[in-house]
Amino acid sequence: MAHIVGGLAASHIPAIGGAMARGVENEPYWKPFFDGFPPIRDWLGHVKPDVAVVFYNDHGLNFFLDKMPTFAVGAAAHYNNADEGWGIPTLPPFKGNVALSWQIINHLIDHDFDVVTCQEMLVDHAFTLPLKLFWPEQFTQIQTVPICINTVQFPLPSAKRCYALGQAVGDAIRQWDSDLKVVVVGTGGLSHQLDGERAGFINKHFDLAFLNSMQTHPDWATQYSIHELVEKTGTQGVELLNWLAMRGALGPSATTVHRNYHIPISNTATGVLAMAT
């Protein structure tokens, strides 16, 4: 059966892609953020996952406000990245793993998750940038399964539902008849709000409590409603739903390999986390 080697989580701000394209990772503004990745890359070099299952949220490249699925799973042989208008380079296609996609889709349907199946799927910076951060030179070599969670258009799925989604995806991976090694990825956040009266809002206290909970109490954030999470993290901070889904997939005994937290990058509290199972 397939083996989940661990989980990864990272912020996915478009400006990060611009920094990598300009080669300014060691400038004072950027260095505290990028310094969080070398220990994780070393760990990935040791565990060598074959497939990354990625929980992320689309920003209009694949889905728009008129058609926004709650949960959507990619089932394609490859996933194209397109120009989003942020001025960041468009990356080459990402490899899919169709067999694992259908394993996850069928398992989710069998366990009462109503998912949209996408046999064609564009992937935006929320998917591409974290993979490039974790695998700077080999990001197009690892096989992928994208799972999109709606964090954009209300009504949003609850934190409890997203955690349960992650648990179901983890079960599907572990039941997959394959000898491949899988890493589960969650992207986005942490606390930030890009518009409205609270534009620029960051909640360091909540962010650190959330990061701590990933180790000690992984379903901690499920106690809050979506509206409470928006209040605590900002309108876009609810991207932490992707982190929750990732953590749910790992099971209760995952341990922290490395983590980093930095304020701010482009008005966002940024985080990166690696956990081993």
Is residue 192 part of the annotated active site? The answer reads yes
In contact, 192 and 237? CB cutoff 8 Å: yes
CA dist 100 and 56 (Å) reads: 17
**Number of alpha helices (DSSP H) and beta strands (DSSP E) in the chain:** 9, 10
Q: What are phi and psi of 8, to 5 degrees?
A: -130, 150
CA dist 152 and 166 (Å) reads: 19
Q: Which of 125, 205, 258, 262 is catalytic?
A: 125
Q: Which of 192, 205, 227, 258 is catalytic?
A: 192
- Sign of the CA dihedral running 70, 103, 122, 190: positive
In contact, 186 and 9? CB cutoff 8 Å: yes
Are β-strands 268-276 and 255-265 bridged in parallel, bridged antiparallel, or unpaired?
antiparallel
Is residue 125 part of the annotated active site? The answer reads yes
Within 10 A of 267 (CB to CB), how many other CB atoms are there? 17
Q: Tell me which residues are annotated as active site.
A: 125, 192
